[in-house]
Amino acid sequence: MQNSRPDLFPTVTTLTLLDPNLFNYVRTVQGNTYKDGKLLGKRVLMLGLSTEDYSNVKNTYDTLTVINVAEHTQSIFQHLENIYYMLKPGGQLIFHFKSEAHFTWFILKWI
């Protein structure tokens, strides 16, 4: 899958992954598709941080994908505020959180 469809995102040059447990995941999970620093033919920048630690980054990302993170944060409000400021004006947030009843997906566009 890693290089099967590099044409899916022709304007993307780099993917940035933020996860406090990222390096443990890369080290221990066999078959990790971005272990070599590439995903779908794109460069992957891996940062072992959470969005709560990333408060100094402003207007950097066109799109953020946040999957199953909200339930692991110390402060959901700080988490969401940092995401808002990390996005460029008009950026998109693809957001998923686990609820007790079912899984929910949201795609939000910040104006």
pLDDT digits (tens, 9 = 90+) for 52-80: 777 788 888 888 877 777 777 788 888 88
How buried is residue 29: exposed, middle or buried, by Cβ count under 10 Å (0-12/13-18/19+)? Answer: exposed
Q: Is residue 1 predicted with pLDDT exceeding 70? A: no
Instruction: Find, among 31, 32, 53, the residue nearest to 44 by Cα.
Output: 32
Q: Which pLDDT value is given to residue 38?
A: 84
Q: Which pLDDT value is given to residue 9?
A: 66
Percent of the chain with pLDDT over 90: 0
Q: Tell me the per-residue pLDDT of 31-48, one tens digit each, with 9 for 90 and over.
A: 888 888 888 778 888 887
Residues 39, 16: contact at Cβ < 8 Å?
Answer: no
Confidence (pTM): 0.63
How buried is residue 36: exposed, middle or buried, by Cβ count under 10 Å (0-12/13-18/19+)? Answer: exposed
Residues 18, 49: contact at Cβ < 8 Å?
Answer: yes
Q: How many residues does the chain have?
A: 111
How buried is residue 104: exposed, middle or buried, by Cβ count under 10 Å (0-12/13-18/19+)? Answer: exposed
